[in-house]
Amino acid sequence: MTERKKIEGRRALGKGLEALIPGAGAQGRTAAAPREYFLCPVDRIHPDPGQPRHKIDKDSLRELVESIREKGVIQPLIVRRDRDGYVLIAGERRWRAAQLAGLKEVHVVIKEATNKEAFEMALVENLHREDLNPIEEAEAYQRLIAEHGLTQHEVAARLGRDRSTIGNSLRLLGLPPEVRGMVLDGDLSEGHARALLQAGSAQAICALARKIAAGGLSVREAERMARAAAQGAANPKGGSPAKPAQSAQVRSLAERLQRALGARVVIADRRGKGRLEIHYTSYAELDAILDKILR
């Protein structure tokens, strides 16, 4: 068996918890046990079923295979021990590409991490590499909230992101499953997905999504069609006449509130009277909105 090498202290072979998760430095410094760095058989490594990323682009994977055949795996994988060998924390693309390139062994760094820490590390690595699809990113944030008990503020702090970014991402989970699948498959962009949220009913959103994907329409066109669909739903044929367009001041105020709250905001104003609607997609998002308003 290949001799294992010990790496003492904090050596920059990969990104440890301190480098990956802002604010975790104090915890990282108190851990005295060194990490292990060695050449590991690829068949002793397996992916984490809870990994944030669901899909790997085949074209980029082929490019990585060619690079590995030429230069090898430059950056070691980060793994943790389990009963079946080692489970990946970071580097699933490199692991898959190494197998396709015919490698029998790859360098790994063993990290002692809980399930929660491993998931956070995998999420941050994918975010830094921009490997996650917008839906995968939103689902990962939701898992940190639902399974790990974090608030949107805590997720933002741990991942070094603005809280409104987390809230806006989570809104994508309000799309119908069919449309989320189209975003995952790359048929619709994140901009298209955000535009479709304005369309109203799930049926209207799905119909528009199919039309946009089939026609290769732009985000601007998607926004226009979604607004028209929402207006049509609010004013069906034979119903009350269409409402006048909002003033620039009202639109500007709605946009400012959306940025401040990280949620969709609708203002219905008629001569100084009306209503203010704040939309949320989960109780966690509602809690974050209330924190903003009531603090």
Catalytic position from the list 18, 92, 105, 136: 92
Q: What is the DSSP letter of 290?
A: H
Q: How far is CA 203 from the centre of its chain?
A: 25
> What are 288's two structure tokens?
């974050």
Closest CA to 208 of 34, 217, 71: 217
Per-residue pLDDT of the chain (295 residues; tens, 9 = 90+): 444 443 333 333 334 334 433 333 433 333 434 458 788 898 999 888 777 666 777 777 888 888 888 888 878 888 888 888 888 888 888 888 888 999 999 888 888 877 777 777 777 776 766 667 888 888 888 888 887 788 888 888 887 888 888 888 888 888 888 999 999 888 999 999 999 988 878 888 999 999 999 989 998 998 899 888 887 765 555 544 445 556 777 777 887 787 777 777 888 877 777 888 888 776 777 877 887 787 6
Backbone angles phi, psi at 88, to 5 degrees: -70, 135
Closest CA to 68 of 93, 51, 89, 86: 93
Is the Cα torsion angle 33, 39, 40, 46 positive or negative in sign?
A: positive
Q: Is residue 221 annotated as part of the catalytic site, yes or no?
A: no
Q: Tell me, what's the pLDDT at 279?
A: 82
* CB 169 within 8 Å of CB 134: yes
Backbone angles phi, psi at 21, to 5 degrees: -120, 105
> What are 41's two structure tokens?
């058989």
Q: Distance (Å, rounded) from C-alpha 27 to C-alpha 7? A: 19
pTM across the whole model: 0.53
* CB 263 within 8 Å of CB 279: yes
Q: Tell me, what's the pLDDT at 212?
A: 92
**What domains lie within the chain, and their CATH numbers?**
5-130 (3.90.1530.10), 175-243 (no CATH)
